[in-house]
Amino acid sequence: MKDFIDDAKIQTLLEEARDPDPSEIREILAKARSKKRLEPEETAKLLQVEDPELLEEIFQLAGELKKAIYGNRIVFFAPLYIGNKCINNCLYCGFRNSNNAIDRVTLSMEELEREVITLEKEGHKRLILVYGEHPDYDADFICKTMEVVYNTKIENGEIRRVNINAAPMDVEDYKKLLDTGIGTFQIFQETYHHKTYSLLHPAGDRKADYQWRLYGLDRAMEAGIDDVGIGALFGLYDWKFEVLGLLYHSIHLEERFGVGPHTISVPRIEPALNTPFYRNNKYHVSDQDFKKLVAILRLSVPYTGLILTARENAEIRKEVIPLGVTQIDAGSRIGIGAYSKSQALLPEKEQFQLGDIRSLDEVIGELAEQGYVPSFCTAGYRCGRTGEYFMKLAKTGLVQNYCLPNALLTFKEYLEDFASEKTREIGERLIRENLEEIGKKDPARRNFVEEKLQLIAQGARDIYI
Ligand code: SAM
Ligand code: SF4
Nearest 5°: the CA angle 318, 235, 333 is 55
Measured from the Cα of 275, ligand 1's closest atom is 23
Domain-located, residue 55: no
Same domain, 325 and 378: yes
The HSE-up count of residue 360 (CA atoms within 13 Å, CB side) is 28
Same domain, 262 and 356: yes
Q: Is 263 in contact with 325 (CB distance < 8 Å)? A: no
Residues with Cβ within 8 Å of 309's Cβ and at least 6 positions away in sequence, in order, are: 79, 265, 267, 328, 329, 332
Residue 448 has a pLDDT of: 93
- Look up the pTM and report it: 0.96
Rounded to the nearest whole angstrom, what is the distance from the C-alpha of residue 194 to the centroid of ligand 2? 18
Q: What is the pLDDT of residues 203-246, one digit of tens each?
A: 999 999 999 999 999 999 999 999 999 999 999 999 999 999 99
Q: Is 404 in contact with 410 (CB distance < 8 Å)? A: no
Domain-located, residue 252: yes
Domain-located, residue 47: no
Give Cα 418 distance to the centre of its chain: 23
Q: Which of 341, 360, 383 is the last residue of a domain?
A: 383
- Per-residue confidence band for 401, with pLDDT thresholds at 50, 70 and 90: confident
How far are the Cα atoms of 87, 132, 273, 318 from residue 95, in angstroms, in the given order? Answer: 9, 7, 9, 29
- Per-residue confidence band for 400, with pLDDT thresholds at 50, 70 and 90: low
Residue 200 has a pLDDT of: 97
Domain, as residue range, for 378: 67-383
Q: What is the pLDDT of residues 105-116, one digit of tens each?
A: 999 999 999 999
Q: Which residues of 301-334 are buried (b: 16+ CB within 10 A; e: fewer)?
A: bbbbbbbbbbbbeeebbeebbbbbbbbbbbbbbb
Residues 287-306, mean pLDDT to the nearest whole number: 97
Query: pLDDT above 70 covers what percent of the chain?
Result: 97
Q: Which ligand is nearest to the CA of 272?
A: 1
Q: Which of 324, 348, 383 is the last residue of a domain?
A: 383
Same domain, 203 and 113: yes
Residue 345 has a pLDDT of: 66
Q: What is the pLDDT of residues 334-392, one digit of tens each?
A: 999 999 987 766 677 777 888 999 999 999 999 999 999 999 988 876 776 777 777 77
Same domain, 92 and 198: yes
- Per-residue confidence band for 403, with pLDDT thresholds at 50, 70 and 90: confident
Residue 460 has pLDDT above 90, yes or no: yes
> Which residue of 233, 265, 268 sits with most ligand 1 atoms within 8 Å of its CB, as the best mutation to test the pocket?
233
Same domain, 230 and 336: yes
Least confident of 28-37, 195-204, 439-448: 439-448
Same domain, 311 and 448: no
Residue 213 has a pLDDT of: 98
How many domains does the chain contain in total? Answer: 2
Domain-located, residue 54: no
Same domain, 182 and 314: yes
Same domain, 366 and 432: no
Residues 428-441, mean pLDDT to the nearest whole number: 95
Q: Is 95 in the pocket of ligand 2 (CB under 6 A)?
A: yes
Rounded to the nearest whole angstrom, what is the distance from the C-alpha of residue 65 to the centroid of ligand 1? 30
Nearest 5°: the CA angle 247, 20, 286 is 60
Same domain, 263 and 341: yes
CATH code (residue 136):
3.20.20.70
Least confident of 63-67, 102-106, 141-145, 396-400: 396-400
Residue 348 has a pLDDT of: 76
Same domain, 132 and 192: yes
Q: Is 233 in the pocket of ligand 2 (CB under 6 A)?
A: no
Measured from the Cα of 166, ligand 1's closest atom is 6
Residue 427 has pLDDT above 70, yes or no: yes
Same domain, 453 and 326: no
Domain-located, residue 52: no
Rounded to the nearest whole angstrom, what is the distance from the C-alpha of residue 392 to the centroid of ligand 1? 32
Considering the chain, what is the average pLDDT of its residues? 94
Domain-located, residue 218: yes
The amino acid that residue 329 corresponds to is D
Domain-located, residue 57: no
Domain-located, residue 10: no
Same domain, 251 and 336: yes
